[in-house]
């Protein structure tokens, strides 16, 4: 299991949204061929590996105040990283205003996954810098919801807001180009929480898309408490 922090950056009229999501993959067993060290006869051993499908539990949601400064955002992210013991992975919207924020985070010695959201059809990356179609982010979230693999605790203060954003989302097809785009249904509605959770879910699916070459072991995490802003 891994813990993911998704960060969707807002501007003057948009919220900055942060989520903490626990990703639990499916455990599989695989027979691995080998040879007995004493008699050199062919044998097979069973190893376990983690892969998709992945289940997600949203443990924390928050929106920072409108107009929150980028240094305040970076300080909040660092505080969250220090509050979680199991080495969470940070994934940040790198589109537009996200570039200077990612630079500020990296100057703190952190190594976030930076995602530039595009309207294209394919994922590409250069190290930790990804270009991901918006359809992939939203699609990963929708599939996890439809397959009952995304759990959102009702007790979270922004759980109802996230649910409303999900219900308010739509796909729009351009009849001339057959291209799809994703946006809030009504003008003036926000999609910041959807995108922050979508970033985390997409990264979880991406990381577990290919089985590792060795057994992956993990311990059950201790409960943790994240203080409010």
The DSSP result for 61-108, as a single string, is EEEPPTT--HHHHHHHHHHHHHH-SS-PEEEEE-STTHHHHHHHHHHT
Domain that includes residue 68, residue range: 2-34+45-152+192-207
Residue 14 lies in a domain: yes
The CATH number of residue 27's host domain is: 3.30.420.240
List, for residues 69-111, the tens digit of each pLDDT value. Answer: 999 999 999 999 999 987 899 999 998 888 889 999 999 999 9
Residue 199 lies in a domain: yes
Closest to 159 in 3D by CA, of 21, 23, 55, 53? 21
Residue 208 has pLDDT above 60, yes or no: yes
Higher-confidence residue of 31 and 226: namely: 31
* % of the chain residues with pLDDT over 90: 40
User: Which residues have CB under 8 Å from 69's CB, separation 6+?
Assistant: none
Closest to 24 in 3D by CA, of 149, 209, 193? 149
Residue 217 lies in a domain: no
Residue 215 lies in a domain: no
The highest-confidence range among 25-29, 133-137, 213-217, by mean pLDDT, is: 25-29
Residue 39 lies in a domain: no
User: What pLDDT is attached to residue 215?
Assistant: 36
Residue 17 lies in a domain: yes
Angle, vertex CA 165, rays to CA 163 and CA 170, nearest 5: 120
How many domains in the chain?
Answer: 1
User: What pLDDT is attached to residue 187?
Assistant: 37
User: Do strands 17-35 and 2-8 pair parallel, antiparallel, or not at all (unpaired)?
Assistant: antiparallel
Residue 185 lies in a domain: no
pTM of the model: 0.79
Residue 125 lies in a domain: yes
């Amino acid at each position: 299991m891994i813990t993911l922090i998704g960060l969707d950056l807002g501007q003057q009229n948009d919220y900055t949204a942060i989520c903490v999501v626990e990703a639990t993959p499916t455990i599989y067993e695989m027979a691995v061929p080998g040879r007995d060290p004493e008699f050199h006869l062919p044998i097979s051993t069973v190893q376990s590996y983690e892969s998709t499908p992945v289940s997600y539990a949203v443990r924390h949601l928050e929106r920072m105040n409108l107009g929150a400064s980028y240094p305040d955002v970076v300080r909040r992210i660092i505080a969250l990283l220090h509050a979680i013991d199991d080495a969470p992975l940070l994934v940040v919207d790198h589109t537009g205003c996200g570039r200077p924020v990612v630079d500020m985070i990296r100057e703190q010695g952190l190594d976030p996954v930076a995602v530039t959201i595009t309207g294209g059809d394919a994922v590409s990356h250069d190290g930790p810098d990804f270009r991901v179609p918006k359809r992939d982010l939203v699609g990963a979230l929708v599939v996890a919801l439809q397959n009952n693999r995304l759990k959102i605790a009702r007790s979270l203060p922004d759980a109802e807001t996230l649910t409303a954003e999900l219900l308010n989302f739509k796909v729009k097809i351009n009849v001339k180009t057959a291209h799809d785009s994703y946006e809030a249904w009504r003008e003036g509605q926000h999609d910041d929480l959807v995108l922050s959770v979508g970033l985390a879910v997409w990264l979880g699916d991406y990381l577990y898309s290919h089985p590792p070459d060795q057994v992956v072991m993990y311990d059950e995490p201790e409960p943790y408490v994240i203080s409010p802003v």
